[in-house]
Structure formats: structure tokens, C-alpha cells
Amino acid sequence: MASRRPTYGGQAVIEGVMIRGQNNISVSVRNPSGDIVTRTKPLNKIFTGPLRKTPFLRGIIALSETLYIGMDSLSYSAKIAESEEIQDDEDEKSTNKLSVAITIILSTTLAIGLFFLLPLLASTPFEYFTKSSLIANIAEGIIRLVIFILYIYSIGLMEDIKRVYMYHGAEHMTVHAQEAGKPLTVENISKYPTAHPRCGTAFLLNVMLISIIVFSLMPREPISWLIISRIIFIPLIASFSYESIRISSIYDHNFFIKLLMAPSLWLQKLTTKQPDDDQIEVAIESMKASIQYDKENMKFIYDYYILKSVPLFLFIQKRGCKNKVQMIFIKQF
């Protein structure tokens, strides 16, 4: 019998870690008193429904999910890290949703301007001197990649961001341990690397590289199309990038896949740092809370569960399970 463990991912937040489970988001943050505060809540059905499993469409859904949930988790962690009391009333929830929406709009606008429109403008001289759209488009892609790497490096020099990068490393190491089926202890997790093939950094790097290919094939006239194309093609490029990351994670032991993954793993040397034990403890709490929520809410079935030699009903009967869902949880957890 062969099986894959349930997939968990996440991101670093301010003084904490967010873990994305099968049906939930768990955020653990260490407050100024030194205590770990954890919030776990269900995922919206948009992020767990059929569209989230549809090839290429799921890339767009995942991008939307990352923006909304990521900003919401950052907002929550900032309040806990600053020792603000979290309100549960409707007015507070409405205010939080509005602030998250505004932050998403502003950050998306900044990202499009910095990583797409600025390289477009900077590549104009190449078109003027070479009279070649292909050369200008390739130069644009290279400029975009350089800006991206310099941006990551520059913000990493800030002390607050360095701590976020350490929590980023703790998140990856904890995910590694969960995927290996090891007990979630500081000692076990400390053995794993801070880089992970399914990292968002790898996704963004793929976006940059795929955009070079896609945009190199496009004409640079008229100017209106030149600008609009850099915006409307982002979801398409994100979809291809997401699918490439999924394929890489499945065949990560293949030699050629390892070669393709090497640049993203190298880039994570900039976005992750070795965490201390306290930071790993926060990541553990977030992962445990997410797994526990999934255990208590057995509403999902792992489609990739494969039975080789034993008929399903015999296996369930042998394990004393009442249904397939319960059988899978006993096996996986």
C-alpha cells in the first residue's frame, strides 16, 4: 500500500507562523509576555471546493487565497505581537476585513508597479537601440528578476524582517517533519533544512522565469497593449507556476527535477534563516492546532490514497473502521 501524507503549508507572520491545513488556517504568535497565542478557524469553501482542485484554475484560487489569508494572518499576528486585545464582535470583524481588503489592493498595486511596470519602462532603451522586441522583452524579464532578488535581499537587512525570515525557516522545518511522519518536537525538527520545494519563494521565482518566456513572444506595440498585457497575464502565469510547483513536489527525487528546483532552493537562503528553539515551538503549536482541527472535522477524503492488494472493505474491516474517512485518519495520523 502506498500513500501520501496530508499536505500542510503556511507562511511566516510577525512573531509567529501560519499553517494552512486541509480545512483550516491556524496562526500561532508569541506575545510580549512570552506566551503562545493560537487562533484556528475554518477555510472559506471557495478555497476548499472543486475549483481548488481543478488544474490551472486552482493556481488562480491559490493566489487569491494567499493574498487574502496571508494579509489576514499578518494583521492578526501584528495585533498579538503588540499585545492588543482581539475583539470578536461584528464591528471588529468588519473593520478587519476592510483593512485587509485595502492592504491587498495597495500591496497588489505596488507589486504590479515594482515588478512588472518598472521593468517594462526600464527595458525601453533596449528596444530603441536594438530595434528588436524580442531582445527588449528578454531584457525586461532579466531586469524584473534582478529587481525581485534585490528587493528580497534589501528587506532582509531589516531586523524585524530577519526575525520573520527565521520564523519562515521554522515553518519549513516543521512542514518537513510533518511530511516525514516524525513527532513534532524541537529536537526532531531542528534536523531539517530551512528550504522547502513548495515555498512561496519558489512560486514567485517561477512566475518571474515563466513571465520571461510568455512576454518575450508578445509584441511591444501599441503601448496600451504593452502595459495591459503585463497585468492581465499575471493570473495565467501564476497558474502555470503553481502547476510546475505541484509537479516538482511530486517528483522531487528525480535528478532533473532537482536541477530545476535548485535555483528556488538557493533563493530561499535569502528568505529563510535558522530559527531558535522558541521560534520552532511556535511553529509546532500552529501545526498541531491545524492537524487537530482536521482530525476533529473529518469532512475531507484524501483522493490520492491508493490501495494496492487489499480490497477497501476488507482493509476497513480489518482496522475496525466504520468508513473510509476514519480509516484514512487512523493511517495518516
pLDDT by residue for the chain (333 residues), tens only, comes to 444 677 899 999 999 999 999 999 999 999 999 999 999 999 988 888 888 888 888 888 888 888 889 999 999 999 999 875 665 555 556 556 777 788 888 888 999 899 989 999 999 999 989 999 999 999 999 999 999 999 999 999 999 999 999 999 999 999 999 999 999 999 999 999 999 988 988 888 998 999 999 998 888 888 888 889 888 998 889 899 999 888 887 887 888 888 888 999 999 999 999 999 999 999 999 999 999 999 888 644 444 343 433 444 444 444 444 444 444 444 444
Q: What is the separation, in whole angstroms, between the first and last Cα of the chain?
A: 16
Instruction: Report the pLDDT value the prediction gives residue 297, as an integer from 0 to 100.
Output: 81
Task: Enumerate the β-bridge partners of residue 17.
Answer: 12, 28
Instruction: Report the pLDDT value the prediction gives residue 39, as an integer from 0 to 100.
Output: 96
What are the backbone angles phi and psi of residue 300, rounded to the nearest 5°? -130, 155
Report if residue 38 sits inside a domain.
yes
Instruction: Report the pLDDT value the prediction gives residue 90, as an integer from 0 to 100.
Output: 53
DSSP 301: -
Strand ranges inside the chain, DSSP E: 9-13, 16-20, 24-30, 36-42
pLDDT in tens, 135-163: 999 999 999 999 999 999 999 999 999 99
Report if residue 332 sits inside a domain.
no
118: containing domain: 9-300
Report if residue 90 sits inside a domain.
yes
Output the CA angle 20-106-140, nearest 5 degrees.
Answer: 95
Report if residue 56 sits inside a domain.
yes
Report if residue 113 sits inside a domain.
yes
CA dihedral 313, 320, 297, 79 (to 10 degrees): -130
What are the backbone angles phi and psi of residue 276, rounded to the nearest 5°? -90, 175
Instruction: Report the pLDDT value the prediction gives residue 86, as an integer from 0 to 100.
Output: 61
Whether 8 and 20 have beta carbons less than 8 Å apart is answered as: yes
When divided into structural domains, the chain yields a total of 1
Whether 8 and 300 have beta carbons less than 8 Å apart is answered as: no
For 35, what's the count of Cα atoms within 13 Å in the CB-facing half-sphere? 6
How is residue 79 written as a grid cell?
495585533
Report if residue 292 sits inside a domain.
yes
Q: Is 67 helix (H, G, I), strand (E, B) or coil?
A: helix
DSSP 156-223: TTSHHHHHHHHHHHHHHHHHHHHHHT----HHHHTTS-S--TT-HHHHHHHHHHHHHHHHHTS---SH
How is residue 82 written as a grid cell?
503588540
Nearest-angstrom CA–CA distance, 37 and 85:
11
Instruction: Report the pLDDT value the prediction gives residue 98, as an integer from 0 to 100.
Output: 77
Instruction: Report the pLDDT value the prediction gives residue 270, as an integer from 0 to 100.
Output: 95
Instruction: Report the pLDDT value the prediction gives residue 118, as an integer from 0 to 100.
Output: 94
Instruction: Report the pLDDT value the prediction gives residue 309, as an integer from 0 to 100.
Output: 39
